[in-house]
Amino acid sequence: MARLDIANLSKRYGDFHAVRDVSLEVADGEFMVLLGPSGCGKTTTLRMVAGLERNDSGVIVIGDRVVSDAAADLFVPPDHRKLGMVFQSYAIWPHMTVFDNVAYPLSVRHVAKAEIRTKVTAALKLVEMEAYAERPAPALSGGQQQRVAIARALVFEPEVLLLDEPLSNLDARLRAQMGDEFRALQRRLKITTLYVTHDQEEAMALSDRVVVMDKGRALQVGAPEEVYRRPASRTVAAFFGTPNFIEAKVTACRANGRDHVLTIEGAGTRGDCRAAEARRPGDAILVMIRPEDVTLGSAGPLSWQGTVVDGVFRGPRRTLTVESQGRRFTVECPATRAASVGDTVTLSVDADNAWALRP
């Protein structure tokens, strides 16, 4: 396996900047996810790593080998990059059996037939598809086709595995199941992986680190919980779920370990929140509060009152919309302990779950 290094990668289509100065370091054996809305540049970044698109600027290094350097006019074609790739459509050939689909990357490399059989059998065992080797590809379910596509990508022992939204064509239950299975396989093989998705839950569940992209730029790179709990901007925060935002002003600030604790007031409340950097009294900030961190009941470190104006039952939980000070807040709470529409409620959150952002 190998590490993957991307430095100042850019791609333009006419006047449109698809990717702007993206730099990433994917460690050997790491699972990194590119996350963002449609058109943010994540698939274009993946295709440049694969060699399916040529970067206008920047450098791509796989292991110790430079495979693309725009300034030096160096470009290694896809079939010489030792990469495995799984596409959104799986690209399973319907006229071939499962065995022949998986064997194809070895056949075009003129590998001996005996070695092909050994390697294909081993790859199919990895994804638990060896019993389907002679089955026609069209006779497979969506989940089985995805497994065949993964086996085909792994059969020639690539240095890096690239996946472009491989679970998006599956239903919700199968998508979660296959995601768990694929993550377990990746951990077992310890293969360096770059994975593209627009699904926030999928990104958090699968990745060692996640890259949030928007308008061609990498906005933040970090462990999933770090990015979720400590977003660098409102754009990053808003891409995960439906966070609440409170406009406030700083009245005091003190250092607390790696963070700072701010005392703030605004929107009918006063209390503490955390921040990545110090702020001065009088500074305007935006406080992010996740819906699941809001507690219904007595006043807490940071609390305010409101009226429940809507509620949606979601099985184990209920989503409430609470109106307060002319603003609407989203609250996620256990269904059995939720308030009713029309109730006046006190909302509270502790300082550890309130995060300050630049306004």
- Which domains are assigned to the chain? 4-237 (3.40.50.300), 242-357 (2.40.50.100)
Give the separation between CA 267 and CA 277, rounded to whole angstroms: 22
pLDDT, residue 28, reads 95
> For each successive 10 residues of the chain (359 residues), what is the average pLDDT?
94 95 97 94 96 97 96 94 85 89 90 93 89 90 86 89 85 81 86 94 94 97 96 93 93 93 88 94 96 86 91 94 92 90 93 92
The rounded Cα 307 to chain-centroid distance in angstroms is 35
pLDDT, residue 300, reads 72
- Retrieve residue 55's tokens: 């970067």
Burial class (CB in 10 A: 0-12, 13-18, 19+), 193: buried
CB atoms within 10 A of CB 95: 9
Three-state helix/strand/coil letters over 313-342: ECCCEEEEEEEECCEEEEEEEEHHHCCCCC
Nearest to 170 by CA among 116, 243, 89: 89
Residues forming a β-bridge with 348 = 295, 303
pLDDT, residue 189, reads 84
Q: Model-level pTM?
A: 0.88
Q: Where are the alpha helices (DSSP H) in 127-171?
A: 142-154
CB 143 within 8 A of CB 181: no
pLDDT, residue 287, reads 96
Nearest to 178 by CA among 159, 165, 161, 191: 165
Overall size of the chain counted in residues: 359
Give the separation between CA 163 and CA 179, rounded to whole angstroms: 12
- Retrieve residue 153's tokens: 């990508």
